[in-house]
Amino acid sequence: MPRYKKASDGQWPGYPHLHINDIETLTIRQNKYVAESLVNNRKGRVVLLLNQDIYQKFLTTVRERKGDISVRNVNDAVLEAVQAWIKKKPRSRRTR
């Protein structure tokens, strides 16, 4: 017979920096997709509105570099751009 962990203290496991190993509830840990959903739903999101011409150029470039415009490839392309922008040396701010 399996041994179950002690019942949790009732604290919601959805704090912002949730990792799979932070989930202590056995029933949630046993269901891989529920645990992944809890973790993924707390990841940061950015909504970017693009003009149609820039959007089409972006999709064309993703297709050329990655092979197709699947969700994974589009996300990877945007993540690469964000990481490159973060690494870029910041410009000094001019005071007015």
Q: What is the dihedral of CA 90, 94, 95, 96, to 10 degrees?
A: -140
pLDDT above 60: residue 15: no
More confident site: 26 or 11 = 26
pLDDT in tens, 16-56: 667 777 777 777 767 778 878 877 877 778 899 999 999 99
pLDDT above 80: residue 93: no
pLDDT above 80: residue 85: yes
Q: What is the mean pLDDT of the chain?
A: 80
pLDDT above 80: residue 65: yes
> Based on the number of CB atoms within 10 Å of its own CB, is 49 exposed (0-12), middle (13-18) or buried (19 or more)?
exposed
Distance CA 54, CA 91 (A): 25
